[in-house]
Amino acid sequence: MDGTARAGAMRAALAADGSGARPMRWWRAPGRVNLIGDHTDYAEGFVLPMAIDRDCLVAVCAGTAGRVRARSLELPGAVDVAADGSDEPRRIEPSWGRFVAGAVRVVTDRVGHAELAAGIELVVSSTVPAGSGLSSSSALTVALVLALAESGGLVLDATDTARSALDAEVLATGVPGGLMDQLCSLHGIADHALLIDCRSLEVAPIRIPDDLAVLVMHSGVPRTLAGSAYAERRAATEDAAAQLGITTLRDAGPDQVCDNPFARHVVSENARVLAFADALRTGNHDALGPLLLASHASLRDDFAVSTPELDALVEAFVSAGALGARLTGAGFGGCVVAVAPAATADEVLTATVAAYGIPSSGPVAAFRVTAVGGAGPVSDPDGSR
**58 interacts with, out of ligand ADP, Mg ion, none, CB within 5 to 8 A per kind:** none
The interface with Mg ion within residues 106-165 (CB under 5 A) comprises: 135, 137
User: Which of these is catalytic: 87, 167, 181, 302?
Assistant: 181
- Minimum Å distance from CB 329 to Mg ion? 8
Number of residues binding to Mg ion, judged by CB under 5 A? 2
Query: Distance between CA 385 and CA 60 in Å, rounded?
Result: 18
Q: Which is nearer to ligand ADP, 40 or 126 (CB)?
A: 126
Report if residue 248 touches Mg ion, rule: CB under 5 A.
no
The interface with ligand ADP within residues 51-90 (CB under 6 A) comprises: 72, 74-75
Report if residue 332 touches ligand ADP, rule: CB under 6 A.
no
- Minimum Å distance from CB 153 to ligand ADP? 26
- Minimum Å distance from CB 49 to ligand ADP? 12
Q: Which is nearer to ligand ADP, 133 or 289 (CB)?
A: 133
- Minimum Å distance from CB 342 to ligand ADP? 26
- Minimum Å distance from CB 141 to ligand ADP? 8
Q: Which is nearer to ligand ADP, 33 or 267 (CB)?
A: 33
Interacting residues of 132 by C-beta distance below 8 A, sequence separation 6+: 218, 223, 329, 334, 335, 362, 363, 365
Q: Which of 19, 34, 108, 136 binds ligand ADP (CB under 6 A)?
A: 136
- Whether 310 and 221 have beta carbons less than 8 Å apart is answered as yes
Q: Which is nearer to ligand ADP, 329 or 362 (CB)?
A: 329
- Whether 352 and 359 have beta carbons less than 8 Å apart is answered as no
**270 interacts with, out of ligand ADP, Mg ion, none, CB within 5 to 8 A per kind:** none
| Among the residue ranges 40-48, 136-144, 195-203, 300-308, the one whose residues contact ligand ADP (CB under 6 A) | 136-144
181 carries an active-site annotation = yes
Q: Which is nearer to ligand ADP, 52 or 134 (CB)?
A: 134
**72 interacts with, out of Mg ion, ligand ADP, none, CB within 5 to 8 A per kind:** ligand ADP
Q: Which of 137, 164, 185, 219 binds ligand ADP (CB under 6 A)?
A: 137
- Minimum Å distance from CB 150 to ligand ADP? 20
Residues that bind ligand ADP (CB under 6 A): 72, 74-75, 95-96, 99, 124, 126, 130-137, 140, 329
Residues acting as catalytic residues:
181
* Site residues, Mg ion (CB under 5 A): 135, 137
